[in-house]
Amino acid sequence: MAGLWVRRRRGAQELDVHDADVAKRAGSALVAADERIRRAAEELEFAEAELGSDATEGLRQALVTARRLLSEAFRANRANHEPDPGTLDEVRARNARIVELCEQVELMLDDHLSMLAERAARARGAPGVIVGVRADIERLRSRLPQARETIEQLAVRYARAALVTVDGNPAEAEHLLGFAEHSIGVAERRRDAGHRAQSIVALEASVDSVRRAAALLDAVGAFEVEALRAESELAATVEESRRALTAALEEPQPASVAGAIVGLQAALASLPSAGVNTDPFAHLTQLREANARLDAAIAAAREHTARPIVLVDHVRRAITHADRELDVARDAIAGHPGRIGAEALTRLAESERLRTDLGHYLSGTGATISMMDLDRRAQVITLAERVASLASESLILARRDLDAFRSRGPKQRAGVEAQASSTP
């Protein structure tokens, strides 16, 4: 007992140490978040002087949110230091909330300050960035003729539907490069006029336009490679599909499999003949989906075939067995009134109720057993087996009650029988 008390006391001490550590973390988090807000406000002033108020609007809004979160954290901290701070769980929850709020403050301010630092770096290095952007514009413009030629070559081999994602890329890239060049000019003029914030906006627009133009031109080259890969995969998929059809036609064909076979045959028939422009991506997708449907139909058919066949005789035998078990239990219990306990009677009542339900189920289907599908036959067998099981349980319980009755003395048995005979 003393050992148990010592263990309990040690656990309480460890719990106190843990709570003190969490409280210490909450206090440190409050100090750190408060200092982070103060430094962010100072950096906001410097950034506004350098970049203008438009560029720092995000940080300004973040500071408003950060101060609101910190106020909530301070209120929770004050509640923990009141004369009646509440239960230990409430104090713990408030400390955890303080740490969570302070972490949100620091992460949010770090994100905005990081973006602002990148903007400031671009502003300070704007002349160099402008030179780099102009060089990128010239480099990408030199790629435009090759991209147009590639599109023309692809149009000879592939259908227009296949090229819909890239055929307009060269024209769109050229437009973006023109916009980037215009934005560079605006950035230079605004910078020379002393409007650094406006200059940064124009410079960022030009950088973004150059990046998007490069992605469009890269997509043209990538499409050419992906189209070749799709053609190769399409040829292999056609061969696999033909082999799958041959195998499927050799097996029994339930309606689901026959429908999937027709779908795959239609997908193969829709392939254009040699020399006709194709859309290898669409045809590959169509074939793959048709193959997947055929595989699923065959798998389902095989699973259905592998299940044991529920014959009509099986259903009839299950119902007959259930009725026989129920009759035996009824006769055994009816022949010994007053001697059978409530548990056996309950089991018998449940069995009789299920047998009634089974009769309604059979008549409600509107079909004979021979006309039922396999799933419905399996349901009938399951219900009949439950009827038989309950009846068997009631018989076992009834025999136990009879044994208990016979083990009593003559006077006890006479009293039970008299009570049973007086019961209406």
SS (H, E, C) 154-172: HHHHECHHHHCCCCCHHHH
Q: Within a 10 A sphere around the Cβ of 406, how many other Cβ atoms?
A: 9
pLDDT confidence of residue 379: 82
Are 214 and 276 in the same domain?
no
Domain boundary among 109, 124, 139: 124
- Are 118 and 222 part of one and the same domain? no
Is residue 270 located within the same domain as residue 327? Answer: no
What residue ranges of the chain have pLDDT lower than 50?
1-15, 366, 416, 418, 420-424
Could you tell me if 243 and 283 lie in one domain? yes
Structure tokens belonging to residue 166: 């890239």
Shared domain check, 120 and 7: yes
Q: Which residue has the tokens 């309604």?
A: 360
Let me know whether 118 and 131 are in one domain.
Answer: no
pLDDT, tens only, 410-424: 655 555 454 544 444
DSSP 283-345: HHHHHHHHHHHHHHHHHHHHHHHHSPP--HHHHHHHHHHHHHHHHHHHHHHHTSTTSS-HHHH
* Domain termination site, one of 90, 105, 124: 124
Give ∠ CA 324-328-329 in degrees, rounded to 5: 115
Phi/psi zone of residue 309: left (φ > 0), alpha (ψ -120 to 50 degrees), beta? Answer: beta
Distance CA 361, CA 102 (A): 65
Tallying the residues shown for the chain, one arrives at: 424
Residue that terminates a domain, selected from 66, 93, 124: 124
Quote the number of domains for the chain: 4
* pLDDT of res. 7: 36
Both 376 and 388 in one domain: the answer is yes
Q: What range does the domain containing 377 cover?
A: 312-422
Identity of the residue numbered 24: K
7 and 31 in a single domain? The answer is yes
From 235, 336, 338, select the one nearest 278 (Cα to Cα).
Answer: 235
Q: What pLDDT, on the 0 to 100 scale, is given for residue 149?
A: 93
**Whether residues 117 and 141 fall in one domain:** no
Shared domain for 204 and 175, answered yes or no, is yes
Q: Does one domain contain both 117 and 135?
A: no
Are residues 223 and 260 located together in one domain of the fold? no
Q: Dig out the tokens for 193 from the structure.
A: 């006029």
pLDDT of amino acid 303: 73
